[in-house]
Amino acid sequence: MKNRILETLTKFWGYTSFRSYQEEAILSILEERDTLTVLPTGGGKSVCFQLPALISEGMAVIVSPLLSLMKDQVDDLKDIGIAAECLNSSLTPKDQYSVTEKIRDGSLKLLYLSPERLLFNHTLDLLKSVKISFFVIDEAHCISHWGHNFREEYRQLGFIKKEFKNIGVHAFTATATPEVRQDIVKQLNLEEPHLYIGNMDRPNLNYRVLPRSSQLLGQIVNVIKKHPNEQGIVYCLRRADVDEISAKLNDLGIQNLPYHAGLSDEERKKNQDQFSSESVHIIVATIAFGMGVDCSNIRYVIHAAMPKSIEHYQQETGRAGRDGLSADCTLFYSGSDYRTWEYMLRDSSNQKVMLSKLSAMYNFCVRPQCRHRTLVHYFAHAYENNNCGACDYCLGEVEMAQEPLLIGQKIISCVARVRERFGADHVADVLKGNRTAAIERWGHEKISTFSLMNSETKVFIRFMIEQLIGQGFLRRENEFMTLTITESGRKLLKGDLVPVLAKPIVAAKKKEIEAKRVSRRAREWEGFDEKLFQALRAKRAELAQTKNVPAYIIFSDKTLKDMALNSPKTIEQFANIFGVGAAKQRQYGQIFVDVIKNYESQTLN
């Protein structure tokens, strides 16, 4: 059986080995055992259920949350020669009838449905009339009340085990804490499932977390300029932010498209299609542009504001580098993001849980520490590396403050002296020694902590305050966001606890960081012909636009990079390129071989 599995993997996907837990999950599915598989985004979850569907008798049913995600996966499967379809409201009545006939005549191996469609009686009757190999619940975290993307129809999917007895059910997700995993198993009524929990770390992602300045647009542009002609996403908190940033970037000549729920379905689809086919390289979006993105060639993700949970952050940054190549994830945050989310979550049915998740996300932003280690630990996994080599902290881009205990004591003393009745901005002005109208009105120029940190900038002081809040030494309270001292803060004041504080990045440090980044990029491309890679990308984009499919469906960046490294000159040589299966060899082999030959001919001349 193992030989047959590997042969199928090579024939259709062009891979010669499995990633972590893929083979084990496939074997469990073929043994008709229920499973829960948690693999990081880009970890190859889809192959875990697509491959056994080819080997099993009957048709596998995949429950997927978004129409765009279904379409991309179906297009990808068809492109490698696999019989797959989706049945949803985006199809015309004629197309729905055609898919239904394919289901009835047994010609499909995979059928994609939304949870809502599966709940229709006529859908259940149709599925009961044919041979079903197994069910898959994709993005299974949607099931859980603990999950970050609650969806009521997902909560009802436990009926599958009752309606389709003796048929395996398999849950897949990229983000699930232990509590969410338990809830998924319970809600789906999984029977003694095999659990496959992969390492949540994405070592190819470079994480950077920076305070958001008043010049946010400039911060965003600086990141974009480091990725010329590469696919990138800019995530915003509100629709209005999307419209504003998108318009300003276009005014600067940086072509992009907006995406949020306030746009019409037609415009959203058009913008996503243009981005996916590489007609446009940048999309500015709310989190509505999340799970529906299945592109493997996104090279950077920018957060213009802090997400509301680490689960959301993991999902959204997970859009980058799905092909395993290096990608950058940059987050610009502010204390105001916490307040905004806190307000938005005030009516949440599970407010306590969501506020706990929000606090964890804010702590991730303000606490200087290895980003990879923090994310992995959040999902209850061990992280053994001393230095990840792929985040601002471990790359030496974060400079630690000297005498953090003394800084913390000065700030908390000031909060105490103003009787815990003022916000962070006022406290920073007192410590800086700024004689504002508010300070003179309250007589705070006369207290002992006035001008206690006059040698530091106000930006520095505010940055220190935000870190103390994130680490639980201070807390914001009531609608005026006044600072109060926690029990940990009182221990800090006594010297029993020491905070971990980082300095804001200054101009000289920024130049040093940029020099190191350029050097790392040069090492990544060592031995590769980057100009040939760009020529191959242009051909891929042309084919994607002609076929009206996402560019990654033609080939991933990783496959193009392998072509640029090995320069295959024959169809036989082309077959040895990473990610080239039999169907892709037939469809695209000669096309890309000709691009390589033409490029080398022009280079020689």
Domain boundaries, the chain: 2-197, 205-378, 404-494, 530-604
Distance of CA 316 to the CA centre of its chain: 3
**Among candidates 113, 80, 85, which has minimal Cα distance to 101?**
85
**Among candidates 183, 184, 153, 180, which has minimal Cα distance to 170?**
184
Residues near 78 by beta carbon (within 8 Å), at least 6 away in sequence = 84
Q: Following CA atoms 377, 382, 384, 388 in sequence, which dihedral angle do they give, to the nearest 10 degrees?
A: -30
Please state the rounded mean pLDDT for residues 363-375: 93
Which CATH architecture describes the domain 404-494? Orthogonal Bundle (1.10)
Q: What is the pLDDT of residue 292?
A: 54
pLDDT in tens, 128-174: 999 999 999 998 988 876 665 556 788 889 999 999 999 999 999 98
CB 489 within 8 A of CB 405: no
pLDDT in tens, 415-470: 999 999 999 999 999 999 999 999 999 999 999 999 999 999 998 999 999 999 98
CB 525 within 8 A of CB 532: no
- CA–CA distance, 183 with 147 (Å, rounded to integer): 9
**Strand order from edge to edge, sheet including 298-303:** 205-211, 327-333, 298-303, 231-235, 282-285, 257-259
pLDDT in tens, 253-265: 999 999 998 999 8
Q: Which CATH superfamily is domain 530-604 in?
A: HRDC domain (1.10.150.80)
- CA–CA distance, 284 with 242 (Å, rounded to integer): 6
* DSSP structural state of residue 504: P
Q: Please, which residues bridge with residue 72 across strands? A: none
CA distances from 224 to 216, 230, 273, 303, 382 (A): 13, 9, 21, 12, 33
Please state the rounded mean pLDDT for residues 380-393: 90
- The first and second tokens of residue 243, run together, are 């419209």
- CA–CA distance, 69 with 89 (Å, rounded to integer): 14
Name the pLDDT band for 506 (thresholds 50, 70, 90).
Answer: low
pLDDT in tens, 528-559: 888 999 999 999 999 999 998 889 999 999 99
- CA–CA distance, 217 with 470 (Å, rounded to integer): 25
Q: Do 205-378 and 2-197 have the same topology in CATH?
A: yes
pLDDT in tens, 209-247: 999 988 999 999 999 999 999 999 999 999 999 999 999
Half-sphere exposure of 489 (CA within 13 A, CB side): 23
Q: What is the pLDDT of residue 291?
A: 45
CB 54 within 8 A of CB 8: yes
CB 291 within 8 A of CB 318: no
CB 270 within 8 A of CB 278: no
Q: Which CATH class is domain 2-197?
A: alpha beta
**Among candidates 43, 37, 102, which has minimal Cα distance to 74?**
102
CA distances from 584 to 7, 163, 222, 415, 571 (A): 16, 39, 37, 65, 11
- CA–CA distance, 385 with 392 (Å, rounded to integer): 15
Please state the rounded mean pLDDT for residues 89-93: 85
CATH topology of domain 205-378: Rossmann fold (3.40.50)
Sign of CA dihedral 225, 226, 232, 233: negative
Half-sphere exposure of 57 (CA within 13 A, CB side): 4
- Residue 393 burial (10 A CB sphere; 0-12, 13-18, 19+): buried
- CA–CA distance, 504 with 513 (Å, rounded to integer): 13
